[in-house]
Amino acid sequence: MSRVGSTHFATLWEEIADLEHTLRYVDAGGYRTRMLDFTGAGPEAQTVVLASGTSGHIEAWTQNIRAFVEAGFRVVGYDYPGHGYTSLADHPLEISDYEEHLLALLDALALERVHLAGESLGGWLALKFAPKHPDRLHTVILSAPGGRMVAEPQLDRTQSVSAQAVSEPTFENVKKRLQVVIHDPEKITDELVRVRQAIYARDGFSMAYVSALREPERRWRNRVTDDDFAAVPVPALMVWTDNEPTGDQAEGERLCGLIPDGEYLLVRGASHWPQWEGAAEFNAAAVAFLKQHAGREDHR
């Protein structure tokens, strides 16, 4: 049972040890893709796909997997190209690359329609993917979605600490990178740091390719606009925080208000990872949202 909500943040192994699962690799668009797959309550169980943030990986969802599985959903976590333990990218990655990879993954797993939960870059991906492929989605969960063009003093800091974390992947440097997205340093587990240390230390790992969307011109042509929020064709749970670096609470409410069928959750005491720092609140709202829409076939 998850102990998030107390002083203890569970490790991935604690969370999944007694859950039926497989960790395997599948070919998705030519990338050897790492995926963690939890069977649902039965063959008809709907699937929740977990999409992480920039330079992220499956473990970013450690505090949420059990809640979704115990609610009866099949859960699939995966690593993007160049990220985690999926094969490395050979070029700077843009949103179209992530979209094509996701589509290839769904096809490889024969998943006709899923719930897509994305944090940061994952939310950005969901916002761009949904209008193009509404027939592949039941709902989306947008957890502090990225991609807007905003004045971001935080961005410079992110680039600086990311570069240092990759060039010198010490425990301290990688923890500094995580402090960009997690408000309370006490909520950064040693396991999370160690996993990311190992990923950054992989031969050939390129932060330049993984974080290419931070380059101004590339970011501009891939940017998320108000029109993207207004174009979400499926029910959406929009999750924001009181310390979100890209916008205040009013901005989060405004963006959610643009979504035709949007539901808003504010997680307090968190920064850019509400699914981690506010896991109990996030999980309760997300599971209720998923169950509410699980039985619907047509969301237009």
Residue 64 inside a domain? The answer is yes
**Element (H or E) spanning 33, and its range?**
strand 31-38
pLDDT > 90? residue 160: no
Kindly tell me the sign of the dihedral angle through the C-alpha atoms of 187, 240, 84, 140: positive
In a domain, 206, yes or no: no
What pLDDT is stored for residue 162 in this prediction? Answer: 74
Task: List, for residues 136-152, the tens digit of each pLDDT value.
Answer: 999 999 999 999 998 75
How many whole angstroms separate alpha carbon 62 and alpha carbon 186?
16
State which residues form the domain around 78. 21-151+217-293
Residue 68, domain CATH? 3.40.50.1820
Q: Phi and psi at residue 198, in whole multiples of 5°? A: -65, -40
Domain assignment present for 88: yes
Segment 90-112 shows an average pLDDT of: 98
Q: Tell me what pLDDT residue 259 has.
A: 98
Is residue 124 within 8 Å of 94, Cβ to Cβ? no
At residue 299, does pLDDT exceed 90?
A: no
Report the number of distinct structural domains present in the chain: 1
Q: What is the pLDDT of residue 300?
A: 41
Average pLDDT over residues 141-170: 79
Average pLDDT over residues 1-16: 73
pLDDT band at 1 (very low <50, low <70, confident <90, very high): very low
Is residue 125, in this structure, part of any structural domain at all?
A: yes
106 domain residue, yes or no: yes
Chain segment 211-235, per-residue pLDDT in tens: 999 899 999 999 999 999 999 999 9
pLDDT given for residue 62 in this prediction:
97
Do 33 and 27 form a contact (C-beta atoms < 8 A)?
Answer: yes
SS3 assignment, position 205: coil
Residue 180 lies in a domain: no
Rounded to 10 deg, the angle between the 121-132 and 95-108 helix axes is 70
pTM of the model: 0.93
Question: 5 in a domain, yes or no?
Answer: no
